[in-house]
Amino acid sequence: MTNNSALHSTAQAESEFLPGPVLLLGAPGVGKGTQAQLLVSKYGIPQLSTGDLLRGNIARGTELGIKAKAIMAAGHLVDDEIVNQMVFRRLLEKDTHRGYILDGYPRTLDQARFLDQMIADPRFLPRLPVIAVSIVVSYDQLLQRITGRRTCPVCASIYNIYSNAPKVAGLCDLDGANLTQRADDTEPVFAERMKTFEAQTAPVVAHYRALGRFEEADGNLSVDAVNIAIQQALSKLRGASK
């Protein structure tokens, strides 16, 4: 192979890279939604969010939605059985056959085991195991992102007093309205959410880490840099677990 054709085939391999089933993890406020969307457009694969699927069932008033509604309203986890069956049906749809970005699932060890077993069945494509990437942002930075957030009640512009402050403190640049802070954007609420998040995700992270299918991506960088870090983690993991 000449140097040129070697280069060409490397470029081709890169552009054809598909990450397969990907679990994206991250605490509230790390920018997981933004990153998931970027991966969806880069790879042309769907995002599968169990929160969205459940909310869709509630909106349509399905039997499953009726069961899930009160549980979700109370902030508890919906039964593994219900969520697993919902994901089972979703993964039989064709648009997932080249891969997908899992968001909010698996959230328990039992869900992770169910998923691993399910997608090992040849009916599920692509025939690749799940790889997991966690977007990690330092506690202090997350705290600033959340407690610094201010919103304009008139035009819905969003500011951050630490990183994107309005020209005049407390007032919207566009219409001069008094900016407001969401009642749950406080340190005690944030600390509680972080604790719950860590307790919930720890077993799932430990599961994929033990299988050599887990990487962290530095989320303290710009949106584009974080996205590159995630893509690098995906190629590394896929290279290691075909």
Give the binding site for ligand AMP (CB under 6 A).
50-51, 54, 71-72, 75-78, 83, 104-105, 107, 111
Residue whose CB is less far from ligand AMP, 27 or 45: 27
Name the minimum Å distance from CB 13 to ligand AMP: 34
Pick the closest to residue 25 from 88, 84, 112, 99 (CA basis).
112
Residue whose CB is less far from ligand AMP, 79 or 175: 79
Residue whose CB is less far from ligand AMP, 72 or 211: 72
For residues 73 and 75, what is the distance between their CA atoms, to the nearest angstrom?
5
Q: How crowded is the C-beta side of 117, counted as CA atoms within 13 Å?
A: 7
Give the active site residue among 107, 150, 213, 238. Answer: 107
What is 212-236 written as a DSSP string? T-EEEEE-SS-HHHHHHHHHHHHHH
**Does 107 participate in catalysis according to the annotation?**
yes
- Residues 6+ away with beta carbon under 8 Å from 220: 137, 138, 141
**Does 238 participate in catalysis according to the annotation?**
no
Give the active site residue among 127, 182, 195, 236. Answer: 182
Give the active site residue among 90, 98, 193, 209. Answer: 193
Q: How crowded is the C-beta side of 108, counted as CA atoms within 13 Å?
A: 12
Q: Which residue matches tokens 């939605």?
A: 65
**Does 193 participate in catalysis according to the annotation?**
yes
For residues 5 and 13, what is the distance between their CA atoms, to the nearest angstrom?
12
Name the minimum Å distance from CB 132 to ligand AMP: 14
Residue whose CB is less far from ligand AMP, 83 or 179: 83
Which residue lies nearest ligand AMP, judged by its C-beta? 51
Name the minimum Å distance from CB 111 to ligand AMP: 6
Name the minimum Å distance from CB 6 to ligand AMP: 44
For residues 59 and 53, what is the distance between their CA atoms, to the nearest angstrom?
10
Catalytic residue list: 32, 107, 149, 182, 193
